[in-house]
Every structure is written in C-alpha cells, then in structure tokens.
Structure 1
C-alpha cells in the first residue's frame, strides 16, 4: 500500500470527513504532510498568525487560552482551522500532552482544498463553528 493510500485510509476515520468520497480523501491526503510530534510540543501559539492547521490521527493535546486549559483534543479532531478560515490571529494555543501523529496543512492547502472539494470546506466550517462555541 502506498503512503498516500495509507493516509487516505486513516482519514476515512475522521468523523468530519464522513461526507468525502475516497477520491476526495485521496486529494486531502496528497495535500497534507504526515508529521510525528513529541509530548509537550507547541503546535500553535495564541495571538500568532494562522499559517497552518492539523488533523490529529493519534495522541492528545490541550487547547489553552491565556494559559488555562479550555479543551482537550484527540484522534479525529481538526485544530487551527478558525484562524485560517477567518484570516485572524490564533485564538488559542495548542500543546501536545502525548506523542502525536498529525496531518499538517498550510493555509494555502486548506483554502485550495475547500475550494476544490465543497464537502471539505463544509467540514472545516462545521469544525470552526463547533470550536467557536
């Protein structure tokens, strides 16, 4: 099985991507980059430019605002999409609490995918709306 085929298969387990076809998931997999991160790694800092977003495949991370933990995220969660979609500074910091395996997307990747794959754009919007609550 090719590396992108494996990643495509793993992305089928992301609940927000349930409406994407296998072909669409393959495009998403091709656009992303699989990254392994250690525990206590800062994925993004509060009030910094939004230049990336992630899909968590394994592990957990804390979402922090002004140092206080406001949420815990894990496998299947998307993070960083609000700042990218709204073209705003980050509203929170995210720090891994375990080793992570993530798919990294640049803001250009996300914008292009959202335009090319409407179901992907809807998944990002739904995630951003849920995170805004």
Structure 2
C-alpha cells in the first residue's frame, strides 16, 4: 500500500513533472513563505465536495467543471473570474432543468498557472529551449 501524503513527507513521493530550480536558497525561502499562509481550501469544503462527487459517481448528480486549460497572471482579473462563474452558473441552471438532478459546480480557477510537460525541452524554429511550464514557474 502506498504511503499517505502529508505536508511532512511530500518530498518522498514520486514526481513526474517537477521543474528545475537552480537556486535552492530561493526555493527554500519561497516554501517557507508559503507554509505560513492559510489553506486555499478548508477541510470542511473538501469533505463537502467529496460527498457531492460521491453522488455524481452514483448517478444522483451531474458534475460541471469549467475554466481555462492554462491561466496567465496577466489575464487573472476579478472581471474574468466573475464572468467564468456567471457562465458556470448559467450552464448549471440549464443542466439542472434538463437533467432533473443537482449539478455539482467545480471551477477550474487559480490552479492552472503551472502546466506539466512530457519533455523538459521543446524545439521552436530549430532552437531547443526549456518547455514553458506556466507563469508560476
């Protein structure tokens, strides 16, 4: 059985898409700063979503997930977030009416700033360069 993930043991877990950080001190400083921030999602919210997704898996609800495949900091603006939520809510109303089951709405937001790549490099115009891993990297 695999070991359960925890904040203390995550470095021991297998990784496939990890960027290279040449400045170990800067990486450590960033990790320390992030460790003092509150969670992005609270445990109660995760438990509520887990229950809702169980209903989806039983065919008693419908999952609607929406958002951009890749996000940029330049376009991450309250108006864009609001507009995405509006579209998701409008779609959920139609699906609820048409499907006669609850719709579990999941926004794919603020998590697509980093993108996994199958290769650490890519060739553009005959030039080999590091693969773009997203704005956050």
**Fold in common (TM above 0.5):** no
Whichever of the two has the greater Rg, that structure is 2
- Between the two structures, name the one with larger relative contact order (CA 8 Å, sep ≥ 6): 1
TM-score with structure 1 setting the length: 0.27
Between Structure 1 and Structure 2, the one with more strand by share is 1
TM-score with structure 2 setting the length: 0.26
